[in-house]
Chain A
Amino acid sequence: MKIGLFIPCYIDAFYPNTGVATLELLEKLGQDVEYPLGQTCCGQPMANSGCNSDAAAAEALFVKNFAKYDAIVMPSGSCAHHVKDNFDAIPQTDEVKHVRENTYELVEFLHDVLKVEEFPWAEFPHKVGLHNSCGTLRALRTASMSELGEPFFSKPMDLLNKVKGISFATPRRPDECCGFGGTFSVTEEAVSARMGLDKVRDHHDAGAEYIVSADTSCMMHQQGCAERGGVPIRFIHIAEILNGARA
């Protein structure tokens, strides 16, 4: 299986360690991974703003970059959600369908496709609060949703439970959106920032030293809110913990 690695723009520019951890982790697990250099964006920001036709060029380029791979993996739930569920600014050719059907968010790829049983190199002796982004939770369905009263399951927690020394904090409102919401974070900055502050306080009050998530965009926003609001909590992408980061 040849894997194409997609690293979203904000991870590339601001959180390169998350990209490195994702690549190294997949390599440690024996995967054949390539990062196509001509990649840019999945088209989500334009599409979510209603400007779907403006997403066409990004989507076409995405397909050009990734059509040759058996699986396309990305450490971002919202990007994976866009490609799988909303990627329709361009004609739905067989190539496009192949890309959409074989796109995976990292956690679901590790959990459902590779079915990883252990991360022997991983140890994280900290109490963490797990933040499931709305894209992973309610669109990709990587965990049970509180509104539906369904039996508990959590793919990210299943993976993190294989990490030595880790423990979990239980926030009061685990499923509440953190308020990032893409362009919402700037067009509705006041509400967005307040939601972010409430989110990080909830985790901090529950005793979390770190917030861990499969979505860097949520954490970029939360980190900004925590730093401004003076909430002492740290942030780490799940890929980094699974790849063996200790802190």
Chain B
Amino acid sequence: MSKVKPVNHAKAAEAFLEDAPHLTFHDERLWDMRQKRDQQMHLLPEWQDLRTRASEIKEHTLANLPEYLEQFEANAKKNGIHVHWAADAAEHNRIVGEILEKHNAKSLIKSKSMVTEECDMRAYLEPRGVTVTETDLGERIQQLDDQMPSHIVVPAVHKLVPDVAKIFAKNYHTDPDEKSPQALAESQRMAARPVILSADAGMTGGNFLVAETGTFVVCTNEGNADLSSTVPNLHIATLGIERIVPRMADLGVFVRLLSRSALGSPITQYTTHFRGPQKGGEMHIVLVDNGRSARLGMEEFWTSLKCIRCGACMNTCPVYRRSGGLSYGAVYSGPIGAIIDPTFNERKYSTLPFASTMNGSCTNVCPVKINIHEQLYKWRRVLAEHHELPFVKREIMHMAGRLMGQPTLYRTAINGTEVALSTLPRFVLYNWLNPWGKHRELPHPVKQTFHSWYKENRLKKGKAQ
């Protein structure tokens, strides 16, 4: 294993928590999305059936992934689409770079795509003379601020209006004290339009590949994917191989679940079916593996590939809402991130499955029924077995485990509490004593343990009930 340092989620989260206005907005905004999602759920009596159906379709498709992908490739080619296969991030970037080079394209406009984030594509293309412009508002804000998206649906949700005003002032020379979100959106529009109109190539991500038709679907709310894909003559779409569904009819299940789970709206503003290149244009699809096949082979974790990237698990996650997506130090944050990031780098993301109380709310909101909190639990075991736990924690658990197996020793430790319990005894928290007390009081001392009370009141002669 490399010498990569594990992400310090706890430390980053602590910094996030110190800023009250950002924290409150972040927590309330995402909780509001969860509430709206609940309202949509209540409007659809068949909600749970839809989740079951979606899960079944995804599991079936993943179990037959090669067949469906080949079917997609054949049909897409018939539609006049160029299909490329990328085994990893490097190959993905190389393929995109080559297509752009062939067309001498120097300006690329793109809509949101988690896969291009995963591949760190901008960092590859820009030194090669390609200017990449994000057209999704949130994603553009993140690009200008040189940050990863902090949420897979609302990438700049951790920022407030004044933050955006400062970033735009720096890049667009607008008023740094601008308070109106509408005015800020308008300045982005004014800055983006000329770039869009003069772009050499457009790139989009995608939500669904349809095997039987060889087409793909992109869902957005800003219409920017439609501009990005249709204004330039060259359209490159990049999608993970797990995005495939067998039939057009299956979309009836997923499209109904997607935006309701994500934002609590019945459907995205734009649901665009791409069937082939526009007249005189060229369309490419890059199908990206980048660890997905390996994940498919992981018995305990393969169902994480069912994910449709709605972000509902993030919105409901009380830890995510109070730590912000950037604290996960990964492209994918929140509960879903915590179970897929370790498949990219076990050491680096070894802390993420522990950045959870395993409360289970994520599993309940997941539209494709991924057992997220159970996978978090399983990851913890895998990471412990692979020696990816901090040494101190590992040793404490080892000692605690031995202590708990020996009643006499254990009782000696506990009895210390009867005498003078002015602090929490070391046997419970060991050297983690200080963290408990940093923002919390310790339990109050008691005169007698239950064990001792029981002996005195139930076992001693004459005192029995």
Q: A-side interface residues toward B, CB under 8 Å?
A: 7, 9-16, 19-20, 23, 27, 35, 37-41, 43, 45-46, 48-58, 60-61, 86, 134, 137-139, 145-149, 173, 175-177, 179-198, 220-221, 223-225, 227-228
Contacts and interface: CB of A to CB of B under 8 A. Distances in A.
Contacts of A49: 354, 380, 384, 389, 393, 397
B361 interface: yes
Contact size range, B: 35 or more
A46 B400 contact: yes
26 contacts: A7-B450, A13-B417, A14-B417, A16-B446, A16-B450, A23-B458, A35-B454, A45-B400, A54-B397, A54-B401, A56-B401, A61-B407, A138-B361, A138-B364, A147-B361, A147-B364, A181-B357, A184-B356, A187-B10, A188-B354, A188-B355, A189-B436, A190-B17, A190-B438, A191-B355, A195-B319
Contacts, number: 231
A244 to B, nearest CB: 16
A12 B404 contact: no
A12 B451 contact: yes
Nearest to B373: A138
A195 B319 CA distance: 8
A37 B450 CA distance: 10
Interface of B: 9-10, 13-14, 17, 23, 27, 31, 38, 41-42, 47-48, 316, 318-319, 322-323, 353-361, 363-365, 373, 377, 379-385, 389, 393-394, 397-398, 400-407, 410, 414, 417, 421, 425, 428-429, 432, 435-436, 438-444, 446, 448-451, 453-455, 458, 465
B359 A27 contact: no
Contacts of A139: 360
Given A40-B404, A179-B318, A224-B442, 5 more contacts: A57-B404, A179-B319, A190-B17, A195-B318, A198-B322
Nearest to A13: B417
Contacts of A180: 357
Given A134-B360, A147-B364, A180-B357, A54 B400 contact: yes
B384 A12 contact: no
Nearest to A51: B397
Given A147-B316, A188-B13, A51 B401 contact: yes
A13 B414 contact: yes
B432 A186 contact: yes
A11 B414 CA distance: 11
B404 A58 contact: yes
A23 B38 CA distance: 40
A40 B405 contact: yes
B398 A54 contact: yes
B354 A185 contact: no
Nearest 9 CB-CB pairs, A to B? A57-B405, A54-B401, A181-B357, A50-B380, A193-B439, A224-B440, A147-B364, A19-B450, A50-B384
Contacts of B425: 13
Contact of B448 (A16, A146, A228): A16
Contacts of A12: 414, 449-451
B359 A148 contact: no
Contact of B407 (A39, A52, A186): A39
